[in-house]
Amino acid sequence: MSDLTGLSNYTDYMTDANRVATENLQKQLEESAKAKENEALFDACKQFEAYLWEQVYKEMEKTVDLFGDDDDGYASNMVNFFKDSVIQDISQQTASQGSNSLAQMLYEQAKRNYNL
């Protein structure tokens, strides 16, 4: 009859090694998911800040009449289209500048509130 003690030790070793590998993989997956959640949360905060700045710029633009009234309407529509596009671009740039932005503060507050 052969001695199976060595086989039992090897089986125990492999079981423990697989358990440790599984736990490590699970931790990595959880960290990756958490990083993606954090990235999505920060992106949403930046989008909100950009929207807020867009509203501010649009209200500021209303206080001045840069282009006046035109007669045909087509030029006015084109100016409005490009003006809105420029305001959106400027808003996104404003939201992405600085480390103490509103988006950063919203992000930090949301992380604290939701234990992320």
Distances (CA, A) of 78 to 19, 56, 81, 92: 64, 21, 5, 21
Provide the number of structural domains found in the chain.
1
Among candidates 104, 66, 106, which has minimal Cα distance to 87?
66
Phi/psi at 57 (5° precision):
-65, -40
Confidence of residue 1 (pLDDT cuts 50, 70, 90): very low
Domain membership of residue 83 as a residue range: 5-114
Cα separation, 32 vs 34, in Å, equals 5
Among candidates 101, 66, 107, 106, which has minimal Cα distance to 86?
66
Give mean pLDDT, residues 58-75.
69
Give mean pLDDT, residues 13-23.
83
Given this model, what pLDDT does residue 114 score?
80
pTM: 0.60
